[in-house]
Structure 1
């Protein structure tokens, strides 16, 4: 869970500055805020896919916080086992508000190429 907390830290610090008016929250303050925020978050998993002379991000999966356990516990193992190798991006959201993104690059065969693309989420 530490890597998720670190990924969220900039978002949490900005929230303390803007909403609470505290420009220098302690790590304990940020951790407490994270524990309240995380259960209300979701994540979208995408993979970088070369297309012609450019790349696109193919949406593969969407998770609510209570579904993220294996992904959070061992992200590289989870990605490699379920999607194979590639350049993956995990975008975290609180409702429609973007929180942060993090990239992972497990090695292995690209299992994800044979998987259907997830329907887009968010407003059209």
Structure 2
């Protein structure tokens, strides 16, 4: 999807602007004092996404407990190949496993997605 200045995969745009993670919707309500229109969400996405960092975490099971260990933090603009082909990049870089990709604006959590990588 091309959203003006931000050329990103559709899944990523839906993740940032969908109802599951209300960060951008809350920002719009705070700024404009009303529910955001799709155009307002697109504008906020184009403004916010270029400043976002991304953390890659891997699932580690210890008995009945599942926890996630941080592998790497990517600065803005350094993770585009990872969001376009997450399974391939994660497989090449880290191997098989269950991963989380967390997106942040500064210290503020925006959204997360899970990626399962099997060795084919």
Q: Normalising TM by the smaller chain, what interval?
A: 0.7 to 0.9
State the Cα RMSD in Å. Answer: 1.5
Instruction: Tell me the equivalent position of 1:87.
Output: 98
SS across alignment from 1:65: coil
Poorly superposed stretches of 4+, deviation over 3 Å: none
By percentage of residues, which structure has more helix? 1
Instruction: Tell me the equivalent position of 1:52.
Output: 63
Q: TM-score, normalised by structure 1?
A: 0.79
By percentage of residues, which structure has more strand? 2
The answer to whether the aligner puts 1:5 opposite 2:50 as a matched pair is: no
Instruction: Tell me the equivalent position of 2:4.
Output: none
Q: How does 1:36-75 map to 2 (within 5 A)?
A: 36-75=47-86
Instruction: Tell me the equivalent position of 1:103.
Output: 114
Instruction: Tell me the equivalent position of 1:22.
Output: 34
Instruction: Tell me the equivalent position of 1:115.
Output: none
Q: How many residues align?
A: 108
User: What is the CA–CA distance in structure 1 between the aligned matches of 2:11 and 2:26, rounded to whole Å?
Assistant: 18
- 2:87 pairs with one of 59, 73, 76: 76
User: What is the CA–CA distance in structure 1 between the aligned matches of 2:24 and 2:102, rounded to whole Å?
Assistant: 15
For structure 1, the 5+ residue unaligned runs are: 110-124
